[in-house]
């Protein structure tokens, strides 16, 4: 899709349809809507006065403008309710963009002018959110269909912000494209069947990212994992014929070659179980096909690193993705086995379906070995988080409250919700083993928390936060602004987090320079 911007009015815009944000209870008596009403021959006023559209979030009305009428070149108009003006944020702009392009694509519109109307706000940020939402909205999980496939597409998108700085608007739209495409990259990986997304294939996709966008990459194979003593990860891989991989992607800002000792170094670590049968503790057959998405944490890391490489923040970022299948076989780890993690800590494997925390243990340890001082890990880790939080909030836990708060706030700004769960030391007692240092499950109580308590055992000495995305990484129902299936949750949050951290680091550096 070609993406353009316009700091002029809507009247001369060469598009087939205009999509315009309308606030709750807004009238066409003044300002922009009055101008639009006059251009539409009174149709906008008619729709609003009849209360066919009240401006509530998610409402929409589609209009054909009369042929030959004075006004915009576009002959079609989509009015989209976006809720209260006082509550209008970038996240709402993103949903507006997604809803608009999905509805107009369904009507075979090829070129769309988006008018998000973020008056008085940051026009560049608004453009970024609108484009991001539109790109995400056009994704469909029908890759392997040969019939009833969505063949229609929006070929050109123009974001309109009258009076804005054109260059800032262009930069915002470009950022939105990068973010939206990276979210969709993550969604595409998560949607791949297990046969088409093995650890080897996932590593190949990581290599493609590195080659295309200039990231450093190192892929550890089984032999190197054995050298590193990654017994926890290898215990999960043992039952599969597919060899495990650990992808390590590194972004360095321009002019920087390495991270100095003691320097702040952010690592993102994502679970990459490309298919999870549960191993010997095998899952029920019902809905097991969804376990292709058990690598979504790893896919999220790859999506974030793909965007970071293009947005080029002035801070280094490390991405670590441990990847394997979890399969039952004569070679598979059995319940009751004891394995030794990279740190030397011994683990009694009570349940082989609690495998994500095992591979994350070695991945977090490896990130620490590479110099990471702050680690955010993410995983489709527990069914318990879905029981606790449903598909609305992502569970977040950790050892650094400032880091946790920053992630939550970063999510709030982009419209992704996180809810902190406690991690008191009492929960760690549930994973004490009688025959080893720890065990990989803590019983039925507080399953999401005890899973995090397990990973915490390997995050000592660093600032650490854990995201359990099992409930939010997959949407069973389509939204007006997004298709059903993989959601790409946390990609936008983590990118916003990186940019906020980069701004903070830049401010600290500037302040340091002034004091010298």
Q: 404-448, pLDDT tens digit by residue?
A: 999 999 999 999 999 999 999 999 999 999 999 999 999 999 999
What is the mean pLDDT of the segment spanning 306-316?
A: 98
Q: How confident is the model at residue 156 (pLDDT cuts 50, 70, 90)?
A: very high
Q: With beta carbons less than 8 A apart as the criterion, state whether 365 and 341 touch.
A: yes
C-alpha–C-alpha distance, residues 424 and 441, integer Å: 16
Helix (H, G, I), strand (E, B) or coil at 209: helix
Among 125, 238, 357, 439, the active-site one is 357
Q: With beta carbons less than 8 A apart as the criterion, state whether 422 and 439 touch.
A: no
What are the C-alpha distances in Å from 497 to residues 284, 376, 491?
38, 11, 10
State residue 70's pLDDT score.
Answer: 56
- Catalytic status, residue 110: no
State residue 66's pLDDT score.
Answer: 80
C-alpha–C-alpha distance, residues 70 and 65, integer Å: 10
Instruction: State yes or no: pLDDT of 513 exceeds 60.
Output: no
C-alpha–C-alpha distance, residues 379 and 473, integer Å: 9
pTM as predicted: 0.96
List, edge to edge, every strand of the sheet that includes 346-348: 338-340, 346-348, 438-439
What is the mean pLDDT of the segment spanning 305-328?
A: 98
Report the number of secondary-structure helices (H) and strands (E) in the chain.
15, 20
**C-alpha dihedral sign at 200, 205, 206, 208:** positive
Q: How confident is the model at residue 318 (pLDDT cuts 50, 70, 90)?
A: very high
Mean pLDDT of the chain: 95
**Owner of token pair 């709030």:** 412
Which among 220, 297, 238, 235 has a CA at the least distance from the CA of 489?
A: 297
Which among 242, 226, 452, 235 has a CA at the least distance from the CA of 357?
A: 452
Which among 447, 434, 320 has a CA at the least distance from the CA of 388?
A: 447
What is the mean pLDDT of the segment spanning 237-258?
A: 96
State residue 414's pLDDT score.
Answer: 96
Per-residue exposure over 240-275, b if at least 16 CB sit within 10 Å of its own CB, e if not: bebbbbbbbbbbbeeeeeebeeeeebbbbbbbbbbb
Per-residue exposure over 336-354, b if at least 16 CB sit within 10 Å of its own CB, e if not: ebbbbbbbebbbbbbebbb
pLDDT digits (tens, 9 = 90+) for 272-289: 999 999 999 999 999 999
**How many residues are given for the chain?**
516
pLDDT digits (tens, 9 = 90+) for 441-486: 999 999 999 999 999 999 999 999 999 999 999 999 999 999 999 9
State residue 261's pLDDT score.
Answer: 85
Q: How confident is the model at residue 119 (pLDDT cuts 50, 70, 90)?
A: low
State residue 508's pLDDT score.
Answer: 59
- Exposure of 491 by Cβ count < 10 A (0-12 exposed, 13-18 middle, 19+ buried)? buried
State residue 73's pLDDT score.
Answer: 85
- Catalytic status, residue 73: no
What is the mean pLDDT of the segment spanning 369-379?
A: 98
Q: How confident is the model at residue 69 (pLDDT cuts 50, 70, 90)?
A: low
Among 56, 75, 156, 283, the active-site one is 283
Q: How confident is the model at residue 512 (pLDDT cuts 50, 70, 90)?
A: low
Radius of gyration of the chain (CA): 24
State residue 446's pLDDT score.
Answer: 97
Q: How confident is the model at residue 120 (pLDDT cuts 50, 70, 90)?
A: low
How would you write 96-145 as a 3-class SS string?
A: HHHHHHHHHHHCCCCEEEEECCCCCCCHHHHHHHHHHHHHHHCCCCCCCC
The DSSP code for 251 is: E
State residue 217's pLDDT score.
Answer: 98
Instruction: State yes or no: pLDDT of 182 exceeds 80.
Output: yes
Which among 449, 244, 256 has a CA at the least distance from the CA of 363?
A: 244
Distance of CA 439 to the CA centre of its chain: 31
Tokens of 226: 């054995």
State residue 118's pLDDT score.
Answer: 80
C-alpha–C-alpha distance, residues 218 and 201, integer Å: 15
**Owner of token pair 């190197």:** 224
What proportion of the chain, given as a percentage, has pLDDT over 90?
A: 91
pLDDT digits (tens, 9 = 90+) for 193-240: 999 999 999 999 999 999 999 999 999 999 999 999 999 999 999 999
Domains of the chain: 2-163 (3.40.220.10), 182-507 (3.40.630.10)
Q: Which residues contact 511 (CB under 8 A, 6 or more apart)?
A: none
Q: With beta carbons less than 8 A apart as the criterion, state whether 415 and 91 touch.
A: yes
Q: How confident is the model at residue 9 (pLDDT cuts 50, 70, 90)?
A: confident
**Owner of token pair 């319940």:** 335
C-alpha–C-alpha distance, residues 24 and 81, integer Å: 7
Tokens of 333: 């780890």
Distance of CA 512 to the CA centre of its chain: 34
């Amino acid at each position: 899709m070609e993406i353009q911007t316009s700091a002029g009015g809507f009247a001369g815009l060469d598009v087939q349809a205009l999509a315009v944000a309308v606030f709750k209870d807004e009238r066409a008596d003044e300002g922009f809507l009055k101008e639009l009403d006059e251009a539409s021959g009174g149709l906008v006023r008619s729709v609003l006065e009849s209360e066919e559209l009240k401006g509530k979030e998610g409402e929409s009305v589609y209009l054909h403008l009369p042929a030959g009428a004075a006004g915009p070149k576009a002959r079609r108009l989509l009015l989209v309710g976006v809720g209260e003006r006082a509550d209008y944020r970038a996240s709402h702009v993103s949903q507006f963009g997604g809803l608009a392009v999905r509805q107009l694509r369904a009507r075979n519109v090829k070129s769309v002018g988006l008018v998000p109307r973020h008056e008085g706000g940051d026009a560049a940020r608004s453009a970024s959110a609108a484009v991001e939402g539109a790109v995400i909205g056009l994704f469909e999980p029908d890759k392997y269909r040969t019939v009833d496939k969505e063949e229609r597409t929006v070929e050109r998108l123009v974001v309109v912000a009258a009076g804005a700085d054109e260059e800032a608007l262009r930069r915002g739209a470009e950022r939105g494209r990068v973010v939206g495409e990276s979210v969709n990259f993550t969604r595409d990986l998560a949607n791949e069947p297990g046969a088409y997304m093995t650890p080897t294939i996932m590593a190949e996709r990581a290599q493609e990212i590195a080659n295309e966008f200039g990231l450093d990459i190192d892929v550890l194979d089984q032999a190197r994992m054995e050298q590193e003593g990654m017994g926890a990860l290898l215990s999960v891989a043992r039952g599969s014929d597919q060899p495990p991989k650990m992808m390590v992607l590194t972004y360095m800002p321009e002019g920087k070659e390495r991270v100095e000792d003691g320097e702040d170094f952010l690592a993102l670590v994502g679970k990459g179980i490309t298919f999870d049968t549960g191993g010997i503790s095998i899952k029920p057959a019902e809905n097991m096909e969804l376990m292709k998405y058990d690598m979504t944490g790893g896919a999220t890391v790859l999506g974030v690193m793909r965007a970071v490489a293009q947005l080029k923040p002035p801070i280094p970022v490390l991405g670590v993705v441990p990847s394997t299948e979890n399969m039952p076989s004569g070679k598979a780890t059995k319940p009751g086995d004891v394995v030794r993690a990279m740190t030397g800590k011994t683990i009694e494997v009570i349940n082989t379906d609690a495998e994500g925390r095992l591979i994350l243990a070695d991945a977090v340890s490896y990130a620490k070995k590479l110099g990471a001082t702050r680690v955010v890990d993410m995983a489709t880790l527990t069914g318990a988080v879905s029981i606790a939080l449903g598909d609305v909030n992502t569970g977040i836990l950790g050892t650094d409250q400032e880091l946790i708060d920053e992630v939550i706030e970063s999510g709030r700004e982009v419209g992704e919700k996180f809810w902190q769960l406690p991690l008191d030391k009492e929960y760690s007692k549930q994973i004490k083993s009688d025959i080893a240092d720890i065990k990989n499950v803590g019983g039925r109580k507080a399953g999401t928390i005890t899973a995090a308590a397990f990973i915490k055992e390997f995050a000592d000495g660093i600032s650490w936060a854990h995201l359990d995305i099992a409930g939010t990484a997959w949407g069973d129902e389509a939204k007006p602004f997004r298709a059903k299936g993989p959601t790409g949750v946390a990609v936008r949050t983590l990118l916003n987090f990186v940019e906020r951290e980069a701004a903070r680091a830049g401010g600290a550096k500037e302040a340091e320079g002034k004091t010298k």
